[in-house]
Amino acid sequence: MIEQIQDIELTTLNRLALLDNAAFGIGGLNAWHLAPLIRHGRVFVFWQDSEIAGSVQYMLDWDHPDTAYMVGITVDQRRRGQGIASKLLRESFHSLRQQNLRLIELTVAPDNVVALRLYETKLGFSRTGYRENEYGAGEHRLVLTLNLSRH
């Protein structure tokens, strides 16, 4: 089951932070990041066997109010390869489209082949930019965009 988290509950915050840190290490979200994203952005979770198996977070792009920036997505390591990320993203896109958002933007490491296959091949994102040193020296990112009206 996929749902948008709207209430801040400590157990949920901790589980989301653990998932994110397992995937992104020092760059992962913590409770201090997640609480405002839940209150002021959009956080969707994928529940499997009464446990959070995956999560995706979005924030509004203030310069382009019809655009959501995807902060990140993660799936529990034990549950990868089951299509959870695709399902989570597709359902969150549907919800965002109903909230009158038109575009989704994200950044991804150019060498993240698995993520690029998901975003470009399976979901239809297009490369729209490149940000050199986005997260520090040598941490370059591709910018990908998805038009929700075509999805």
Do residues 67 and 52 lie in contact, with contact meaning Cβ atoms separated by under 8 Å?
no
Tokens for 5, please give them: 């988290």
Residues in the chain: 151
Do residues 52 and 25 lie in contact, with contact meaning Cβ atoms separated by under 8 Å?
no
pLDDT in 10s for each residue of the chain, 151 residues: 899 999 888 899 999 999 998 888 888 898 999 999 999 999 999 999 999 999 999 999 999 999 999 999 999 999 988 999 999 999 999 999 999 999 999 999 999 999 999 999 999 999 999 999 998 899 999 999 999 987 6
Q: Indicate the pairing of strand 141-147 with strand 126-131.
A: antiparallel
Look up the pTM and report it. Answer: 0.92
Quick one: pLDDT at residue 151?
63
**Residue-range domains of the chain with CATH:** 2-150 (3.40.630.30)
Do residues 145 and 105 lie in contact, with contact meaning Cβ atoms separated by under 8 Å?
yes
